Amino acid sequence: MRTQVEETIEVIRPALQADGGDIVLKEVDEATGIVYVTLVGACGTCPTSTVTLKAGIERIMRDRIDGVTEVINVVDPELAIPE
């Protein structure tokens, strides 16, 4: 499953990079079907990144890869905007 996730990210990546962002694969839990990623660059700070993640990335992965149930953005504390 991880290989399929990596291949799908390569398909998605150009659209994210066109908007100044990117996606980093953190982990694939094959038992639960959860894919953990980190959205970086403009995607990491964009107020609509949740929509991008759920309506875009997650939908594409669920359509293309049997067993994917959810995609979760793991926020890297080093990239977080201080309050």
For 17, the domain range is: 2-76
Query: What is the per-residue pLDDT for 78?
Result: 59
pLDDT digits (tens, 9 = 90+) for 44-79: 888 888 898 999 999 999 999 999 999 999 986 655
Q: How far is CA 16 from CA 20, 33, 43, in A?
A: 7, 23, 7
User: Is the pLDDT confidence value at 34 over 70?
Assistant: yes
Q: Is the pTM of this model over 0.85?
A: yes
Percent of the chain with pLDDT over 70: 90
CA atoms of 75 and 52, how far apart (whole Å): 15
* Overall domain count for the chain: 1
Query: What is the per-residue pLDDT for 82?
Result: 44
The residue-averaged pLDDT of 26-41 equals: 95
Instruction: Check which CATH number belongs to the domain holding 64 and give it.
Output: 3.30.300.130
Query: What is the per-residue pLDDT for 68?
Result: 98
Residue 18 lies in a domain: yes
